[in-house]
């Protein structure tokens, strides 16, 4: 199996995970993985005027603005203000949309080094994975897992990263950890792998949790049906 973009894995191969990736890949408040919201003017020597300069520069030169943002993030300590986090995130997305993936990755990694949150590490890891920098992406996820060892989303993305790189055995190990910590998406991914491997009984068992409740997961229904069709007598 050749290397696949982690974003393509999220969007296509793995079962219905793209909405989850979007939700986890932007700054928000209210979870244990997010820093408490600090004051918006300055923190750890970071001046609002510095980031106003970044904003102004971005209107004419995204790459120069990204480079300045990286310098400011590298020069600071601790989590930056919420306003800075949002500005750096949005600048990284704009640079990515302009097809400057290397520059976007540099900014996203610098932001993760300061924020140390689930959303920021997943955002950086996705871009690094798209660039084929698999080991660097995995290292970032591993570092965050040292802080949040039971974070199902991090184990899930670590598994998807390895799956996109063709490392099925390692992907299954990471996805199994994600399932253990409560990720239904990882469970569906595991079920898909089992189905592709021809282990129909195990695949059915893995799809079954997605069928529970008043609104069964659409991909669980499709996967369950596929196991029945494949196993049907000819």
Taken in order 6, 9, 12, 15, the sign of the CA dihedral is negative
Q: Are residues 73 and 105 in the same domain?
A: yes
Length of the chain: 234
Mind listing the pLDDT tens digit for each residue in 160-192? 899 889 898 899 899 999 989 988 788 788 787
Domain CATH number, residue 188:
1.25.40
Q: What are phi and psi of 80, to 5 degrees?
A: -70, 170
Residues 80 and 135 in one domain: yes
CA 164 remoteness from chain centre:
13
Q: Distance between CA atoms of 166 and 29, rounded to whole angstroms?
A: 35
Is 230 inside any structural domain?
no
Does the predicted TM-score (pTM) go above 0.75?
A: no
Cβ(156)–Cβ(175) under 8 Å?
A: yes
Q: Could you give the CA distance from residue 122 to residue 16 in angstroms, rounded to a whole number?
A: 17
Per-residue pLDDT of the chain (234 residues; tens, 9 = 90+): 455 555 444 434 433 333 333 333 556 543 334 333 333 344 444 678 999 999 999 999 999 999 999 999 999 988 999 999 999 999 999 999 999 999 999 999 999 999 999 999 999 999 999 999 999 999 999 999 999 999 999 999 999 899 889 898 899 899 999 989 988 788 788 787 877 778 888 878 877 777 887 777 776 787 778 888 755 454
The parent domain of residue 154 ranges over 150-215
pLDDT number for residue 46? 63
Q: What is the pLDDT of residue 28?
A: 54
Q: Are residues 176 and 195 in the same domain?
A: yes
Of 82, 107, 139, the last residue of a domain is: 139
Confidence at residue 21, expressed as pLDDT on a 0 to 100 scale: 38
DSSP state of 11: I
Angle at 203 between CA 15 and CA 229, to 5 degrees: 90
- Spatial CB neighbours of 13, under 8 Å, sequence gap ≥ 6: 4, 163, 164, 192
Query: Does 90 reside within a domain?
Result: yes
Torsion of CA 56, 77, 47, 49, to 10 degrees: -10
The verdict on residue 1 lying in a domain is: no
Matching residue, tokens 């890891």: 125
- Cα-Cα end-to-end distance for the chain: 30
Q: Are 128 and 58 part of one and the same domain?
A: yes
The count of domains in the chain is 2
């Amino acid at each position: 199996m050749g290397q696949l973009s982690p974003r393509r894995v999220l969007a296509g191969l793995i079962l219905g995970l793209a909405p989850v990736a979007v939700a986890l890949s932007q700054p928000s408040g209210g979870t244990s993985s997010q820093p408490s919201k600090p004051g918006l003017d300055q923190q750890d020597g970071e001046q609002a005027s510095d980031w106003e300069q970044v904003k102004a520069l971005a209107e004419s030169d995204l790459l120069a603005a990204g480079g300045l943002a990286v310098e400011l993030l590298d020069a600071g300590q601790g989590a930056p203000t919420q306003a800075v986090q949002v500005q750096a995130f949005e600048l990284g997305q704009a640079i990515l949309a302009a097809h400057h993936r290397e520059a976007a990755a540099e900014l996203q990694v610098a932001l993760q080094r300061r924020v140390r949150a689930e959303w920021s590490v997943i955002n950086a890891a996705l871009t690094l994975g798209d660039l084929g920098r698999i080991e660097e992406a995995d290292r970032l996820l591993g570092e965050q897992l040292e802080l949040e060892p039971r974070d199902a989303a991090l184990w899930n993305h670590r598994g998807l990263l390895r799956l996109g790189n063709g490392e099925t055995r390692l992907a299954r190990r990471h996805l199994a950890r994600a399932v253990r910590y409560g990720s239904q998406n990882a469970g569906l991914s595991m079920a898909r792998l089992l189905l592709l491997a021809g282990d129909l009984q195990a695949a059915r068992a893995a799809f079954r949790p997605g069928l529970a409740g008043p609104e069964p997961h659409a991909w669980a229904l499709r996967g369950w049906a596929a196991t029945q069709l494949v196993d049907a007598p000819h």
